Amino acid sequence: MEFFFRVQLLIPLISVLLALFPLSESNNIQFCDATNIYGDSGCDFMSSVSSKILIKGGTVVNAHHKEVADVYIEDGTIVAVQPNIKVSDDIKVIDATGKFVMPGGIDPHTHLAMEFMGSETIDDFFSGQAAALAGGTTMHIDFVIPVDGSLSAGYEAYVEKAKRSCMDYGFHMAITKWNETVSEEMEIMVKEKGINSFKFFLAYKGSFMVNDELLMEGLKKCKSLGALAMVHAENGDAVFEGQKRMIELGITGPEGHALSRPPVLEGEATARAIRLASFVNTPLYVVHVMSIDAMEEIARARKSGQRIVGEPVVSGLLLNDSVLWDPDFHFAARYVMSPPIRAAGHGTALQAALAAGVLQLVGTDHCTFNSTQKALGIGDFRKIPNGVNGMEERMHLVWNTMVASGQISVTDYVRITSTECARIFNIYPRKGAILVGSDADIIILNPNSSFKISSKSHHYRTDTNVYEGWTGMGKVETTIAGGRVVWENDELKVIPGAGKYIEMPPFSYLFDGIDKADAKYLSSLRAPVERSTT
């Protein structure tokens, strides 16, 4: 009690000292341990951090080149990349000898704080991002869901959700209905809000699903704005029929989810979207490619010269659907996502397509629900909230599966986890590169260090992990985001509100030459033909 009163007497003195000698924002930045901040208690400690960092002696890897060099960072920006940089003693030096120094990962496909199927995803813009940083991802692009069809209302809602962000992020925008107001709002999103991509759901009948007429209007509008059209490709009408069929057969458990939406329905919707995009002559991005059926449609279109981007996700590359037949409902339900995890063989084929360049980059479709939320579907698989985790595991699992196995090179790894995403969404080389002038979003990966995945040690709010017990080689030992060391020595220190919204301009490289192709098409028509009316 005596100590308490002494502290109380000191508080006015401390306040005066702080007023006379304020802390420098550049050298004393408030950090919060992610494990202590999930409630509303706030930060409970301070940490000094240098705004100047030298990463010494590592192999610097970009998508086009690798070299042994030092990387000097100042005030959140890469200032120099060259061998043997000399600095003064007050600079923080990180020894990266024998390790790879690479751009931080960019996850192109996440759903944080998303309201879906009667629930809201358990990870918000703080917990999901904190976990991502621990896994080497330093930026992600989340999907804004309109509010009653309104893009502006949806955007404002997500701006509010993202206020506690601890790393950089961008937005895609979903389109769930069509009218003149939506068309006008798309223009506002592109020209004023920094959104350059719009997603169309061909699944989820009765909620998000759009028909072909709406998709056509959306593709035309995207083309005119220089925005990338994205599709969730499953035939929603056929899925609805498949769900009814499973229920009639008495199949109500998680296995019914996979059986009701087989690969053929993903292939059909992918082919249809690709052909409509060809008809409009606009680029198309197919999200979460989960099957050989969809991948082959993408391969065929790309071979013909069409501008199609195929995005596999970690769960589709690594998992197989045997888990959905597990007798434990709670175990099986954690793997329910859409499109579903496919039978063994699909993942291997997707890995080969990724290695060959048929598929271009890897996302996660991170959309987490806890066991209680998943249990809403006991007795009816249609009510199981769809989604799995991946933001924290992506960089490790892709390295172990694709690089450590010899399927791709280290430079290819940087391309599919970071650089290609930055190029597609028009933020390269600010992001996705270790170049002078690029943002200091950097990871240091030790190829000789191992990792193990567990729900007991991950940094999500959810109580399960679909990669529980997975181990492998290649561990992200250090993550630097915005010039701050946020992950080091297995400790995560992050600041709510430190993340920045990254505006993404329209007309990425995917649109180069579209106007010339249109002109060539028009000149090939040999129409209209002048005919006599007599």
pLDDT surpassing 80 at residue 512 = yes
**What is the per-residue pLDDT across 221-273, written as a single tens digit (0 to 9) for each?**
999 999 999 999 999 999 999 999 999 999 999 999 999 999 999 999 999 99
- Give the whole-angstrom CA distance, residue 534 versus residue 83: 82
- Give the whole-angstrom CA distance, residue 419 versus residue 368: 26
Quick one: pLDDT at residue 15? 38
Provide mean pLDDT across the span 451-468. 98
**What is the per-residue pLDDT across 401-449, written as a single tens digit (0 to 9) for each?**
999 999 999 999 999 999 999 999 999 999 999 999 999 999 999 999 9
| CA gyration radius, the chain | 24
What is the distance in angstroms between the CA of the first residue and the CA of the last residue of the chain?
A: 109
- Give the whole-angstrom CA distance, residue 391 versus residue 106: 10
Among all chains, which residue has been given the structure tokens 């704005």? 225
Backbone angles phi, psi at 492, to 5 degrees: -110, 125
DSSP letter for each residue of 377-439? GTT-GGGSPP-B--TTTHHHHHIIIIITTTSS-HHHHHIIIIIHHHHHTT-TTTSS--STTSB
- Give the whole-angstrom CA distance, residue 478 versus residue 101: 9
Backbone angles phi, psi at 416, to 5 degrees: -80, -15
CA dist 59 → 99, 253, 429, 447, 481 (Å): 6, 49, 19, 11, 19
- Give the whole-angstrom CA distance, residue 105 versus residue 363: 10
The model's confidence at residue 43, banded by pLDDT at 50, 70 and 90, is very low
Helix-, strand-, coil-residue percentages of the chain, each rounded to 5: 35, 25, 40
Quick one: pLDDT at residue 50? 58
- Identify residue 281 by its one-letter amino acid code: N
pLDDT surpassing 50 at residue 6 = no
Q: In what order do the strands lie in the sheet with 197-201?
A: 105-110, 137-144, 168-175, 197-201, 228-232, 284-286, 308-310
Question: Which domains can be identified in the chain, with CATH numbers?
Answer: 101-514 (3.20.20.140)
**What is the per-residue pLDDT across 174-212, written as a single tens digit (0 to 9) for each?**
999 999 999 999 999 999 999 999 999 999 999 999 999
The predicted model scores a pTM of 0.91
DSSP letter for each residue of 437-506? TSB--EEEEEEEEEEE--TTT--SSSS--TTTT-EEEEEEEEEEETTEEEEETTEEEE-TT---B----S
Whether the Cβ atoms of residue 294 and residue 233 lie closer than 8 Å to each other: yes
- Give the whole-angstrom CA distance, residue 116 versus residue 264: 25
Whether the Cβ atoms of residue 384 and residue 376 lie closer than 8 Å to each other: yes
The model's confidence at residue 49, banded by pLDDT at 50, 70 and 90, is low
Whether the Cβ atoms of residue 73 and residue 483 lie closer than 8 Å to each other: yes
Cis peptide before 103 (omega within 30 of 0): no
Quick one: pLDDT at residue 11? 38
For the chain, the average pLDDT equals: 92
Pairing of strands 137-144, 105-110: parallel
The model's confidence at residue 46, banded by pLDDT at 50, 70 and 90, is very low
Provide mean pLDDT across the span 5-23. 37
Among all chains, which residue has been given the structure tokens 């997975």? 470
Residue 530: how many CB atoms within 10 A of its CB? 5
Query: Residue 455 has which token pair?
Result: 């729900």
Provide mean pLDDT across the span 474-501. 97
Among all chains, which residue has been given the structure tokens 């060959």? 356
**Which residues are CB-neighbours of 133 under 8 A, at least 6 positions away?**
166, 167, 479, 481, 486, 487, 492, 494
**What is the per-residue pLDDT across 58-89, written as a single tens digit (0 to 9) for each?**
999 999 999 999 999 999 999 999 999 999 99
Of 99, 90, 50, nearest to 70 by C-alpha is: 99
Query: Residue 316 has which token pair?
Result: 């589709």
Residue 164: how many CB atoms within 10 A of its CB? 20
Quick one: pLDDT at residue 118? 82
**What is the per-residue pLDDT across 16-28, written as a single tens digit (0 to 9) for each?**
333 333 333 322 2
Cis peptide before 385 (omega within 30 of 0): no
